[in-house]
Amino acid sequence: MNLKGRSIITIDDLTNDELEAIFTIADEMTKNPGEQSNLCQGKIMATLFYEPSTRTRLSFESAMHRLGGNVISMASADTSSSSKGETVADTARVISSYADIMVIRHPWEGTAKVAAEYAEIPVINGGDGNHEHPTQTICDLYTIKKERKNIRGLNIALCGDLKHGRTVHSLAYALARMGANIILCPASGLEMPEHVLRKLQGDYGGIIQRLNSHYLPSLAQMNTGEKQSDNHNLDAIYITPSGSHQLALIPDIKAEELKHKIDIDALYVTRFQRERTQTDSKTQDYPVVDKKLLKGDEFKQALVMHPLPRVGELSRELDSDPRSAYFKQAARGVPVRMALIALLLGIKDIDIPARPAPNYPEKHAAIYSNDSELSCANKTCISAQPNQYVKPGFHIIEGNNLLLKCVYCEHERVIPFIANTATGIYHPYRKSFLHRINPQNRVFFESEEIAQKRGFRRAKECRW
């Protein structure tokens, strides 16, 4: 396997086999640290952090130093030319001439993707807005693998701010691919975004089911602190991939087939992402993980994980609990990132079985970028920012409704009208009508008013 020259923007940029290879090399880095000290001699890594960071930035820099390389760093947006109006694309071009590899964190979703499109060196996403944080997920998976030996078939509960937490978005995708069962326990109003749930179902074959609180009594009480009746439906959602994935056989477990309470193998806790919301205070019923909660039968063997920092949702009394794994997660960030850097620079290589690349539907969906005045509705997407010169682009997701999924941040919008530039006619979306139009002639509109303003006329009623 050779990852030389590749960029890692989302967790889907790595196959399951490639993730396993990274784990193998991370083990090697841990066991023989002295042998790695000259691997990156003469190489330079640039770290561009437009948001605060402790673990991600310092673990990347520590990893590069331990490999014998050097680091140049930009630790805040205020000290960069972005404060003068420089575009991300121009910054990426310039940094390519200063360094051999780049790590970037930015509050705009899709920024790492744009940087990778213009840079001539590998780009690693250190977190982009609410979107993804793939290297944190690699560290999380590595920790689960080290502590539990396997990932397939485990029951992993994701708890807290699932709406804004980029770490849980990347982790959910990877867990689904690798055959874990995912239980979502969001704080009120901070549920997993619909586009993430749709991807878990559409791309990875997941089944979303509501579970009766009988299966997870302590988890059901987490938000309310009150005992729930056996007939109460959890806010949590149980996701069980069905059928087989190209890279792994994913178990098919139906909630109605479960006769006993579910044991949680890992509880992944996340903080309230205050910096990504319009309010300074988290919800009153924000889940808190403490010794009292972990007395529940379902948590007897559960790893307690957290990407850190914690701000009250994870009790410090758990630090001495043998189930706590969050400081191990942080420590393992160094060997994992050492392995990733060495692979992307082509210094390390490893043989893996030849398998087909993942066939994720969105990777192969048609892309729409015609000039129809459509932009991404996500205000923190890089394509929605002024003076970045990023043209909006969307994956076309067909179904009962037509969805356009932003290629930068993956947020979706429903499109009710489609037009044909060859005929000057627009029509309410119907799947049959979509395929009658040459892709080069398709134009999508959010309203009839906009279509008519652009000079299109409504089609007469037809059987399409």
Q: Does residue 224 have an active-site annotation?
A: no
Is 210 a catalytic site residue? Answer: no
Q: Is 283 a catalytic residue?
A: no
- Rounded to the nearest 10°, the torsion over CA 132, 135, 141, 142 is -170
- 87 in a structural domain: yes
Catalytic residue among 55, 65, 430, 454: 55
Marked catalytic residue, from 106, 133, 166, 395? 133
Domain assignment of residue 1, yes or no: no
Residue 35 lies inside a defined structural domain of this protein: yes
6, part of any domain: no
Check 84, 149, 260, 463 and give the catalytic one.
Answer: 84
Phi, then psi, of 402 in degrees rounded to 5: -90, 125
Q: Which of 43, 57, 66, 105 is catalytic?
A: 105
Tell me, what CATH number does 104's domain have? 3.40.50.1370
Residues 187 and 277 in one domain: yes
Number of domains in the chain: 3
As given in the structure block, the two tokens for residue 294 are: 């972990």
* 294 and 176 in a common domain: yes
Is 405 in the active site?
no
Q: Are residues 436 and 314 in the same domain?
A: no
* Catalytic residue (one of 15, 47, 56, 91): 56
* Element spanning 418, H or E: strand 417-420
Q: Please say if 310 is a catalytic residue.
A: no
**Nearest-angstrom CA–CA distance, 218 and 232:** 13
- Parent domain of 110: 11-131+330-344
Residues 210 and 303 in one domain: yes
Is residue 464 one of the residues assigned to a domain?
A: no
Q: What is the pLDDT along the chain (464 residues), one digit of tens a residue?
A: 689 999 999 999 999 999 999 999 999 999 987 889 999 999 999 999 998 888 999 999 999 999 999 999 986 766 667 766 789 999 999 999 999 999 999 999 999 999 999 999 999 999 999 999 999 999 999 999 999 999 998 999 898 889 988 999 999 999 999 989 898 888 888 888 988 988 888 888 777 776 666 667 677 666 555 554 444 444 445 454 544 333 222 333 343 444 456 788 999 999 887 766 766 656 667 788 888 888 888 888 899 999 998 888 888 999 999 999 999 999 999 999 999 999 999 999 887 776 666 666 666 677 888 666 788 999 999 999 999 999 999 999 888 889 999 999 999 999 999 999 999 999 999 887 788 889 889 999 999 999 999 999 998 755 44
Q: How many CB atoms lie within 10 A of CB 329?
A: 24
Characterize 98-113 residue by residue with b for buried, 16 or more Cβ atoms within 10 angstroms of its Cβ, and e for exposed. ebbbbbbbbbbbbbbb
Q: Is residue 401 part of a domain?
A: yes
Could you tell me if 293 and 322 lie in one domain?
yes
| Same domain assignment for residues 396 and 433 | yes
